[in-house]
């Protein structure tokens, strides 16, 4: 698939790579074996998630493993996810997005370059923190946020920006 002057997606037919959160850069993910990781009810794609007992959720639970939520390769079609229409911040997270159907396979990346939305904007070189309720990304600890290995790669106003584990944060 062409997206401007580069190929979109690493082996996927999905064209809007920014919505999914990945491009052609290499990434590493949890090895889940035959049973794969499965989506919890309401798992949003393209933000942070936590895996515990084979289930991935955007909400943190004690002992869960942090990662970035991606769709599975070669299983992509409209039945895998759906756009959940709610008024952001009123009846759900402060951001609408693509949600997995409960029980569908998903990928939890532990390193790589991705696009993810920042509600408060970001600063290039800042450590990325994850909201433990919705898995959203922030460039500062808002009190109770969880530190991630990702670094914000762009200074930007609220909206999507690239994050990477292949850089070192200026703020430690």
Residues 107-139: pLDDT tens digits? 889 998 888 989 888 889 999 999 999 999 999
CA 33 to mean position of chain CA atoms: 21
Question: What is the mean pLDDT of the segment spanning 148-154?
Answer: 93
Coil/strand/helix, residue 27? coil
How high is the pLDDT of residue 1? 35
Residue ranges covered by each domain of the chain: 2-164
Task: Encode pLDDT of 70-86 as tens digits.
Answer: 877 555 555 555 555 55
pLDDT for residue 55 is more than 90: yes
d(CA 7, CA 9): 7
**Residue 97 vs residue 53, higher pLDDT:** 53
- Helix (H) or strand (E) holding 140, with range, is none
């Amino acid at each position: 698939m062409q997206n401007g002057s580069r190929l979109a997606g690493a082996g996927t037919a999905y064209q809007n790579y920014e919505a999914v959160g990945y491009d052609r850069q290499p990434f590493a993910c949890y090895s889940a074996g035959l049973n794969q990781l499965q989506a919890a009810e309401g798992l949003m794609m393209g933000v942070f998630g936590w895996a515990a007992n084979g289930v991935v959720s955007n909400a943190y639970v004690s002992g869960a493993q942090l990662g970035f939520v991606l769709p599975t390769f070669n299983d992509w079609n409209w039945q895998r996810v759906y756009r959940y229409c709610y008024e952001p911040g009123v009846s759900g997270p402060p951001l609408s997005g693509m949600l997995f159907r409960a029980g569908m396979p998903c990928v939890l990346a532990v390193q790589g370059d991705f696009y993810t939305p920042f509600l408060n904007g970001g600063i290039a070189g800042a450590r990325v923190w994850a909201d433990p309720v919705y898995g959203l990304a922030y460039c500062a600890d808002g009190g109770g946020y969880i530190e991630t290995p990702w670094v914000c790669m762009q200074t930007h106003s609220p909206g999507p920006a690239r994050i990477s584990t292949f850089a070192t944060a200026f703020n430690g």
